[in-house]
Amino acid sequence: MTEPESSAPKATWAFVLLAVLALAVAGAVWWVTRPGPLLIQGEVAAPRVDVSARTSGRVSEVAVDLGDTVETGMVLVTLSNPQLVTAHAAAASGLEVARASEIAAGATRPELIRVREADLALAQADLRLAQGQIVRDTELSQQGLRPQAQLDQSLRNVETATRRVEAAQAQLDLARAGASPEDRAVAAAQVAQARATLEQRQADLDELTVTAPMSGEISARLIEPGENIGPGTPLFTIVDLENAWFTFNLREDLLAGLKVGDLLSVRVPALEAEVVAQISLINVQGQYASWRATRATGDFDLRSFELRARTTAPLAGLRPGMSALITLGG
């Protein structure tokens, strides 16, 4: 009876051992097949501006070079264009002519007024002479010493002299008044047009000096002194290193739990540094960036999204193009 009683504990221990082994195998399988952390690679990007000229010209002086740091408004390059200088001088002369015409339309020369006054005085003298003559002819006609025809001629002479006085007075009034309101308006419009033309020519001259539209670093220089360039020709590329960000492209199934304002731990291998960055943008990419399903059923296409994040504290040495790594899941 002793042997059967001793075999029961052995069976129990064997069962426990098998259970432990089964759990260990299951744990090992889970450990091997469990979802691991996903490493996502992105890069550093920064605002950049391609600087170009708005007018044509020859490069006379280049004030900056690759790698130089520039401030907003700093002179980058100076162009020369003799045609624009000549056009500016012609526009300035046109404005002076228009101003002179406006002055001439607004006032009459004193010499012309004196001529009109003399004409009026002469017409008035003729009128007085004609009036005196008709008085004498009337008295003689009453005495029968002047024929009626001569009296009629004297009356016509008075009428003619009166009309000449009126005409001379009108000419004098016109000379004193100067040009008509319409003529003055035309002269003022011509001055405004000439001034606008001069301002346009001055703006063209100002464009011969190209300045930096923003602060940053010169990352590309595309011109040399002596070159002829046209409007829109790229001259420099300026990168704003102070406002760099991290950019990552993620499938939409990896965006779960991510939203604007979340913090990420970003590793920058080039700087051997790990920084905290805050998500500032989650934006869908174009159709070309979609992940296409390879199976006809049981799967679906996934869109790609751009995720941007900015460092919460400045990181020295951060430059566009550097790799950036984040870990999702796990």
The per-residue pLDDT string of the chain (330 residues; one tens digit each, 9 = 90 and over) reads 445 555 666 677 777 777 777 777 777 665 555 556 788 899 999 999 999 998 899 999 999 999 999 999 999 999 999 999 999 999 998 888 888 876 666 655 676 777 878 888 888 888 888 788 777 777 776 776 667 777 678 778 888 888 888 888 888 777 776 666 777 777 788 888 889 999 999 998 999 999 999 999 999 999 999 999 899 889 999 999 999 999 998 888 888 888 899 999 999 999 999 999 999 999 988 765 555 554 555 566 778 889 999 998 888 889 999 999 988 875
What CATH class is the domain 48-81+210-239?
A: mainly beta
Cβ partners under 8 Å of residue 14, min gap 6: none
The CATH architecture annotation of domain 37-47+242-328 reads: Beta Barrel (2.40)
Provide the pLDDT for residue 104: 66
> CA separation (Å) from 31 to 23, 27, 91, 147, 206?
12, 6, 83, 148, 70
Task: Delimit the domains of the chain by residue range.
Answer: 37-47+242-328, 48-81+210-239, 88-203
Please, where are the H alpha helices in 143-282?
A: 148-177, 181-206
Rounded CA gap, 29 and 22, in Å? 11
Q: Would you state the pLDDT for residue 2?
A: 46
Which tens digit of pLDDT belongs to each residue from 244-280?
999 998 888 888 888 899 999 999 999 999 999 999 9
Cβ count within 10 A of residue 172: 20
The order of strands in the sheet holding 69-70 is 48-52, 234-239, 216-221, 69-70
The answer to whether residues 305 and 286 touch, using CB atoms and an 8 Å cutoff, is no
What's the mean pLDDT when you consider all of the chain?
82
199 in Cβ contact with 23 (< 8 Å):
no
The predicted model scores a pTM of: 0.60
